[in-house]
Amino acid sequence: MRVCYSISSGLILLPGKPGSEPAIFSVGGPIPDSPADNPSLLSLVSDWQETNAETLDSARVDVRTKYLRYWAAQLLGDLIIGLPAALECDTIKYLDDLLDTRVVPKEVIGELLQAPLARPESGRRLVAVADDLGCTAVALVLETTVELQPRLVALSGAWRRLSVEHFAALGRSPEELWRQLAHRGGILSLLEAADNAFIDCWLRTNDDVESITPSDQAILHAMGHDLAALFYEEPFETEFDPLTIGPGFGTKPFVSMVGKLRTYFQKHYEYSFQSTTWGGDARLVSRCHPPASAIEEVEPAVLFVPVRSKGLLRDAA
Amino acid sequence: MPATVAHGLFEKTSTLYAGLEGQVRGGGRRPPLPPQDRQRAGTAGMIFGSYDGEIRYGVLSLNRWGLRTYGKVHCRLRAETIAHRVTFLETNSYLFVRRQELNPGDPIPAGYRAIWANRHLLALAKVEPHLEKDGDPAQWPDLLVRSDGRDRSQDEFIEAHIFGTFNSESIGSVEIDEEGPSNELEKLLARIVVARHRESQDSPIEGSTS
């Protein structure tokens, strides 16, 4: 069945049976399920979309997932913009619960990477606040988002320098195509991709674009090469280059490593882990050195992290 | 309005309260096609004709509270930002069209609408059956806006029709309905809206009731 839904409000509209009113359902807010009985309610919402759903229950599940992810990203944005202290604390705790149980952190990071942060320093401060509150999921999302900013700035800069002919040939504006890329989580994929995987990642990201033609494919291919060239043209703001850190690291993005390390040691050790920039400042401080067997359980690439840090893991290994 | 909507409005001052019609007219997206949209468009079209897309809906109130069936956040618009571009209808426009059995092209019956300057006459005509000679004026706000907070079909109010859009700077006060149904996210968003509103109130301007 065809339904209308709004991600921001969590409302679902179902056409009624012949002769009856359509119905409105809410997956989040306090608006009760009821007939959609006046235009005022419908006009409150500005992001109606249409989709096919097998049942009302499946539509509810799908919309609720999108609704919570959207608001997780919005609340993180609110935190970065700034909130009064008590509200900041409550928001972080609520978000941590959300990220632990109902929202995939990586998808939220994808939402946050739609544009570079105006105040990344605010994000860094919030990482410390979240850590102090024991809200590690929030800390990790914010930390990753902040760490990716130099690459995001470089990517958006490269995007702006792309030839307008590419966009004209596709019949889409740069802004529209960027929004679509962000919507599909493509920006995070590109930022995490190694240099030799950038093009593949770009093409994979564009695979599911609606109504793509063979000629569009060719344009996207050329566009991807241009984008990669421009993206890697200038060094990133930090000195650390995750793609050349060591043999075997090639396709493993640094951010994923940080996440894996954090998750691993969170489970097994009392720890404090910080990685405040892309380069040279990653350090693991553990109260006991993990045994060599522990290292082997983590991806081999992480062994290269301590090369530029305190050497704890290398010593332990 | 729901806290989710209010949050978007207070995100930045450049955000305009667009509503569905504004977006459709702006060409940003295609309108939803199921029957509910035809009903919405039909109702608005019968009352407003070709400019139905310019209308934002509200409620005439004597205090800072609107209808609890529409969400936790109650925003009172500054009079000076809307007085010149608002009209009022005696009830919910959807119900009005049905009760009056209006068809496309029918004139709107006289006596059910008012401009800002005459809004008191429309309010008097609507609540007159409930007024008593020695009644307490403190009860008047509850006579003008009646809602049980659950069933919108039982709401009684005077609907405000604002021509054009507005942003958060048009909002004079924000109140949160602490009693209505809500979840943790709505409560949090409502608190954020209040915080953002306070931040924007560096130079408060006193406005009268909407």
* CB within 8 Å: B152 and A74: no
* CB within 8 Å: A45 and B5: yes
Angle at A147 between CA A143 and CA A148, to 5 degrees: 120
- pLDDT score at A307: 28
* CB within 8 Å: A30 and B183: yes
Selecting from A30, A41, A87 the residue whose C-beta is nearest the C-beta of B186 gives: A30
Query: What DSSP state is assigned to residue B210?
Result: -
- Residue A129 CB neighbours (<10 A): 17
The neighbouring-strand residues paired with B186 are none
Exposure class string for A150-174: b at 16+ Cβ within 10 A, else e: bbbbbbbebbeeeeeebbebbebee
* CB within 8 Å: B180 and A30: yes
Selecting from A4, A34, A46 the residue whose C-beta is nearest the C-beta of B18 gives: A46
Query: Which residues lie closer than 8 Å to A129 by C-beta, 6 or more apart?
Result: A88, A89, A92
Query: Which residues lie closer than 8 Å to A61 by C-beta, 6 or more apart?
Result: none
* CB within 8 Å: B36 and A42: yes
Instruction: Indicate if the pLDDT at residue B1 is higher than 90.
Output: no
The residue assigned the tokens 């007219």 is: B25
Residue of chain B minimizing CA distance to A18: B35
Q: pLDDT tens-digit profile of A214-244? A: 788 888 888 888 998 898 876 554 433 333 3
Selecting from B4, B22, B56 the residue whose C-beta is nearest the C-beta of A29 gives: B4
Residue of chain A minimizing CA distance to B182: A30
Q: Which of A69-83, A282-296, B17-31, B166-180 has the highest mean pLDDT?
A: A69-83
Residue of chain B minimizing CA distance to A48: B32
Radius of gyration of chain A (CA): 22
Instruction: Indicate if the pLDDT at residue B40 is higher than 70.
Output: no
Mean pLDDT of B123-144: 92
ipTM value of the model?
A: 0.76
* CB within 8 Å: A46 and B20: yes
Selecting from A29, A38, A74 the residue whose C-beta is nearest the C-beta of B71 gives: A29
Task: Please give the C-alpha separations between residue A98 and each of A65, A103, A135, B87, B188, in angstroms, as whole numbers.
Answer: 11, 6, 11, 43, 13
